[in-house]
Chain A
Amino acid sequence: MKESELITIDHLTKVYPTGTGGFKALKDINLTFQSGEFSGVVGPSGSGKTTLLNIIGTLDNPTEGKASVLGRSVNDLSSKEAARLRNHHIGFIFQTYNLLSVYTVYENVEFPLLLLDYSSDKREKMVMDALNWVNLADKKNFRPSQLSGGESQRVAIARAIVKKPELILADEPTANLDAKNSYLILEIMEKMNQELGTTFIFATHDDKVMKSLKRTISLEDGRVAGDDLAKA
């Protein structure tokens, strides 16, 4: 793996066990992602976008082939090692925000830092920095139920970036948002990519997101149907 290569995927296949033998979600995928990319995996529903992101995010394992993230082989990670890798180096943004409903905005953003065992002062500074990035510092004491969809997704972004991870995986981050909010959060993520050098990989079929991507990988029926490296 070259030094700048953040992720390498080599002949990756993912099969989910079913009653009739198994469902092949990914078939012989070969990809590499460089550090600092702003890429997207696009394709229709069921094409394997989320599965690919889950494997890159160490939430799932390949059935065949290899995946290496930040120099670590996903295949060989124990659940504890995978959890630590996610905790230290990977941020997630989900379509449905997945905020912890009983926590305040501040506590949601602080959560990954608690797992990293940072001091209270350090946590406070990092949380406020992240909330300032997404322009939600004034709503730090709000509960998720008191926020709009756009605000909730901005909190999710703040939670993903607060530990300054090398990689952020965003699964349909704009699917539940209107155009205005979609552009707003895309703007934030582009800015983070440019200013912090954070690598973003999206799974999306939203045109607004696709337009902003520097690299587009098309998936169809679990196979790579196209890889637009030219924009990268």
Chain B
Amino acid sequence: MLLFKLAYRNIRGAGLRSFLNILVMSIIFVLIVWMQGLYEGVTVQATTDMIREDVAGGHYRHPAYDPNDLVDLMEAHQSYQPQQKAVDRHDLEPVLMINASVYPNGRMQSALLKGIRPDQALLDFPAHELKTQMDGVIPALIGKRMADMMQVALGDEFIIQWRDRQGTFDAATARIVHIMTTIVPTIDAGQIWIPLKRLQEMTGMTDEATYMIARPGFQLQDPQNWEYYSQDELVHSIVNLMETKSSGGMFLYLILLLMAMLSIFDTQVLAIFKRRKEIGTLVALGMTQKEVSRLFTLEGTMFGLLGAALAVILGIPICLYTWRNGINFGPVMDSFNLAVSPIIYPIYTPEMIAATFILVLFLVMVISGIPARKIASLRPTDAIAGRRIYKVRGEK
């Protein structure tokens, strides 16, 4: 109790220096929690959007279809007639994919041509825009990223060149009927969506698909030659990507922790040099060197606790505001190449907040304990005079 009282007096007595230390600690607490909340928010948002716009309940893929190798998709398609009933019920949504070349404004670009039924009901995706009937012209739906890449606008026409299942080249004119704003790059970048039936006719791949999207909760009893990828497996890739992206964030996290350490390093470790005379005086007044060590450790720990308390006061309004209103990162997130909206809504979980506080406080205690050994080895008679002379080994 006495040590608490003395530590409190020392902190209070140091006035502005103490306040600044506590303020720095609290800002670091808030920043760490905020940053972690942001990553959590990005991950949740990215996975939620991906599920809503691309994954649904999971995918049944042709075994030759590899989303990481889209150079040649000619072998990656098969008939879904055995699953026709599920397709008719919209429990499954077939998607056919082929490689194509497009010629917007006379320039050639590669693209993925994807066919989807305009009346699909599994995804939050404007496929209904493909219902537009146009004589000979293929209605095309693209995302904003693709529109930027192709430098085309709504209503623009361009040539599509593709090969059918025999390898014969063919070409037709397509017109942009809708440009969707989506944050999921897997349905946007490099892709042109057209009606499934039309693509099947163009390629001679009647009733064939590259993969089928499943309604949440639906599973084929006999998937035959379709390989099932669950929602979790598909989302796992984005979580992995987030973890890769957040390794950069980890660096920032470590910097913040280092700053927290530094703020008490100044008070605690440098105290050995700055407060030598005080240490000697405390010993002369009747404290043992162990008690002085404990006092210093306690002082550092109290800095951490007070920092945490101030962090709660400062952090609650900041975190509440950002949780409700989100943080608008604008085009920054787009350049981050992640399936996330420019407005990020951080998510703060009690476990994450508690873990952050425990980790920082633990490190603060460890750092605060560093002076203990030095203090114990100070020769009190020299410390009183402000000299820095340590006991030699074996000296009492």
Contact = CB atoms under 8 A, between A and B. Distances in A.
Interface residues of B, number: 30
A60 B286 contact: no
B13 A103 contact: yes
B284 A59 contact: yes
B26 interface: no
A88 interface: yes
Interface string A69-91: 00000000001100110111000
A100 B281 contact: yes
Interface residues of A, number: 32
B13 A98 contact: no
Interface string B360-389: 000000000000000000001100111000
A161 B179 CA distance: 88
Interface in A83-132: 83-84, 86-88, 92, 94, 96, 98, 100-104, 107, 111-112, 114-117
B396 interface: yes
A79 B384 contact: no
B286 A86 contact: yes
A182 interface: no
A114 B5 contact: yes
Given A17-B395, A98-B277, A115-B2, A57 B285 contact: no
A61 interface: yes
A92 B284 CA distance: 7
Nearest to B376: A79
Contacts of A60: 380-381
Contact of B396 (A51, A61, A115): A61
B279 to A, nearest CB: 11
Contacts of B288: 79-80, 83
A43 to B, nearest CB: 17
B384 A98 contact: yes
B289 A111 contact: no
A79 B289 contact: yes
Residue from B9, B14, B281, B287 whose CB has the most chain A CB atoms within 10 Å: B281
A32 interface: no
A103 B290 CA distance: 22
Contacts of B285: 86-87, 92, 111-112, 115, 159
Contacts of A79: 288-290
A87 B286 contact: yes
B283 interface: yes
A115 B9 CA distance: 14
Nearest to A78: B288
A59 B12 CA distance: 29
Interface string B318-356: 000000000000000000000000000000000000000
A84 B286 CA distance: 6
Interface in B172-200: none
A98 B286 contact: no
Interface string B264-295: 00000000000001101101111111110000
Interface in B279-314: 280-281, 283-291
A75 to B, nearest CB: 9
A96 B284 contact: no
Nearest to B394: A17
A126 B153 CA distance: 89
A34 interface: no
A57 B284 contact: yes
B392 interface: yes
Interface in A47-68: 50-51, 54, 57, 59-61
Interface in B130-165: none
Interface of B is mostly: helix
A100 B286 contact: no
A185 B291 CA distance: 32
Given A54-B381, A88-B286, A103-B9, A98 B2 contact: no
B382 to A, nearest CB: 10
A173 to B, nearest CB: 14
A86 B287 CA distance: 9
B287 A115 contact: yes
B286 A83 contact: yes
B4 to A, nearest CB: 11
A115 B328 CA distance: 56
B10 interface: yes
A59 B392 contact: no
B71 interface: no
Contacts of B380: 59-60
B6 interface: yes
A102 B286 contact: no
A87 B281 CA distance: 12
A227 to B, nearest CB: 24
Nearest to A61: B396
A81 to B, nearest CB: 9
Nearest to B380: A59
A159 B384 CA distance: 16
A230 B380 CA distance: 35
Interface centre among B6, B14, B283, B285 (most CB of A within 10 A): B285
Given A80-B288, A115-B285, A102 B13 contact: yes
A159 B284 CA distance: 12
Contacts of B384: 59, 94, 98
A182 to B, nearest CB: 20
Instruction: Please list the 8 inter-chain residue pairs (A to B) with the smallest Cβ-Cβ separation, ordered nearest first.
Output: A87-B286, A102-B13, A98-B281, A83-B288, A54-B381, A92-B284, A115-B286, A86-B286
Given A92-B284, A96-B385, A102-B9, 20 more contacts: A50-B381, A59-B283, A80-B288, A83-B286, A86-B286, A87-B285, A87-B286, A98-B277, A98-B384, A101-B13, A101-B278, A102-B10, A103-B13, A112-B285, A114-B5, A114-B6, A115-B2, A115-B286, A115-B287, A116-B286
